[in-house]
Structure 1
């Protein structure tokens, strides 16, 4: 069972897409992630982008914890329907879905600069594709000047290839899951 951990919608269950096409972030990892984000005051009032959204659990957790807006990007039609149902179920008025590939969504002119980007690509997304997505975030100017980007990967995956302009701040391991934290500027504190 996947659920919202904290905030306005805390405890509410989330639907998950059928089949094995998505891999929801575990409650344990989401709790650790959002604890780290909240200790940095990175969620409240932030504009958040959830790439490869799946069920929308990461973006909807941010919405529950006070994000100003959340854009959930997903290409799978079944998952898009699940995300829309989850948005309605948790009452996330500031959340919206962008249907289509992450690459197509980012390869357009942004209307908003995002403060926090959460990227949880399927494990079969190769490193070159992930590097291209990270590059699009910068070259298409999707990020605010002090944006935080968090990438979730398998512990067996190599470190993402970060484009110039994103500085890695931390790597946190949770069993088979690794969270990589990077900023568009070098912060003076650790996660």
Structure 2
């Protein structure tokens, strides 16, 4: 994987093969950050990266100037790798080793962007539970955005907080907001 833009641009990061991860592809990550770039100033963001795996998304935020990043993963190897890589990059990424559902239950922090990349084989109910926990616990700041990466086979279109979806091959990003306006829902190939 490589960092797309910012102060670490073109830096390649090689994760150990033994980590149980499926990093977001460079193409999908670039498209995601192009969308976010049109919405936010990265320096101002407070970011939560759930199921952070290799830290791929956290490094991209850090490279673009985000200083307040929390990465949560249940796997000790993933957390260790993120800590080691963050130290090398001199990126201040706060890591938490925790089950994501337990973290969401207990967290009272507020975020501008919450990125979620759970295992693609998750049942639909688990995807929905994550989205519901974020909104029920009021974890997004005003104008905040929850972004869920998932397989194109996972159908999240009926959630009331869904505002937009974008497909990239077999991957899809679903964007959720506090807005009640779902009339303008767009699915783009």
What TM-score do the two structures reach when normalised by structure 1?
A: 0.87
Structure 1: state its 5+ residue gaps.
Answer: none
Task: Report what 2:105 is aligned to.
Answer: 107
Q: What is the CA–CA distance in structure 2 between the aligned matches of 1:135 and 1:117, rounded to whole Å?
A: 13
C-alpha change, 1:160 and 1:89, in structure 2 (3 Å) is farther
- Say which of 70, 93, 96 aligns to 2:94: 96
Aligned to 1:45: 44
Q: CA RMSD in A?
A: 2.2
Q: Which runs of 5+ in 2 are unaligned?
A: none
**Secondary structure, aligned partner of 1:170:** strand
Which residue of 1 is the match for residue 86 of structure 2?
87
Which residue of the other structure, out of 106, 126, 130, is the alignment partner of 2:127? 130
| CA–CA distance in structure 2, aligned partners of residues 28 and 78 of structure 1 | 26
On the 8 A contact 2:120/2:150 being kept in 1, the answer is yes
For the structure 1 residues 145 and 123, does the alpha-carbon distance in structure 2 shift closer, same or farther, using more than 3 Å as the test?
same
2:155 matches 1:158: yes
Matches within 5 A, 1:14-33: 14-19=13-18, 21-33=20-32
**Contact in 1 for aligned 2:48/2:113 (Cα 8 Å):** yes
Deviations, residues 37-73 of structure 1 (Å, cap 9, x unaligned):
0011263311011110010111221111122311101
After superposing the two structures, state which structure 1 stretch, 6-15 or 145-154, moved more: 6-15
Do 2:73 and 2:99's aligned partners in 1 also have CA atoms closer than 8 Å? yes
Secondary structure, counterpart of 1:151 in structure 2 = strand
Residue 170 of structure 1: how far off its partner (Å)? 1.5
Maintained 8 Å contact 1:42/1:116: no
Aligned length: 185
Give yes or no for contact 2:50–2:117 (8 Å, CA) kept in 1: yes
Question: Which residue in 2 is equivalent to 1:144?
Answer: 141
